[in-house]
Chain A
């Protein structure tokens, strides 16, 4: 079939009509504008890049594994128990004198 020429195409294109905006558009826009900002917290969504999501997931897993494998913290002996007070094995006191004391 022979293609249209420019004039025939222009004739068809000028007759291609699009409908006007429906009345519901105005209502939808008004309704959406009146929503309070915190409504987004209930209905909103965000797009998260996959590498960022993966990095976050790996970080959570690492923290979880590290917490689990470390086990409960070893309790320090209470200072009031006898085991907390051990005799000093070797006492080596260091005497520090002032320059005044050294000269007299």
Chain B
């Protein structure tokens, strides 16, 4: 890959990779680390972008996803990363603004549900694309997405549209 090709790819996909990592980790610093590592792995040829396996964007998100999991495993932030739990951890979101409440609620989801939700809702990937990316069955993606949404419906109940404090109100309250 030439320097020009790399720069073009970086400029085109940097926001998508960073935002995916940000939504997955709920941490700007960690998201930046992950996004940097994704592009450096590609630049050094340590992560191959095989166009036959999907779009460049989905491949970059796949690398970001793997790096996020590596961070979680290293930090032992989750007791059981492979446990596809049904109930998400409870979190207090009543006092947060809409964006913070959503961040907190999504961060409280089990990681497998979180990645399914983020990939479908924000990366606009089809169920089949996600199944290919994660090397799982489409039915498993559907089940994780369903559980994620059911958990969010419970977690975000205090934030029912209309009940959520506007950002302006939150700013003045602080």
Where the two chains meet, the residues of A that have a C-beta atom closer than 8 Å to any C-beta of B are 1-6, 8-9, 11-13, 15-22, 24-26, 28-29, 32-33
Contact = CB atoms under 8 A, between A and B. Distances in A.
Given A6-B149, A15-B98, A29 B40 contact: yes
B102 A3 contact: no
Contacts, number: 85
A23 to B, nearest CB: 10
B15 A12 contact: no
Contact of B35 (A2, A5, A21): A21
A9 to B, nearest CB: 5
A1 B157 contact: yes
A32 to B, nearest CB: 5
Most-contacted residue by chain A among B6, B23, B36 (CB, 10 A): B36
B156 A12 contact: yes
Contact of A4 (B10, B19, B153): B153
Contacts of A4: 152-153, 156-157, 160
Interface residues of B, number: 35
Contact of B40 (A3, A19, A21, A33): A33
Q: Which of A2, A5, A13, A20 has its CB near the most chain B CB atoms (within 10 A)?
A: A13
A33 B156 contact: no
B156 A9 contact: yes
Nearest to B106: A16
Given A16-B98, A25-B36, A33-B6, 19 more contacts: A1-B157, A5-B153, A6-B153, A8-B153, A9-B152, A13-B102, A13-B152, A16-B99, A16-B102, A19-B19, A21-B14, A21-B17, A21-B32, A25-B14, A26-B14, A28-B32, A29-B36, A32-B40, A33-B40
B171 interface: no
Interface in B129-174: 149-150, 152-154, 156-161, 164
B158 A1 contact: yes
Contact of B153 (A3, A17, A29, A32): A3
Given A29-B10, A29-B36, A18 B122 contact: yes
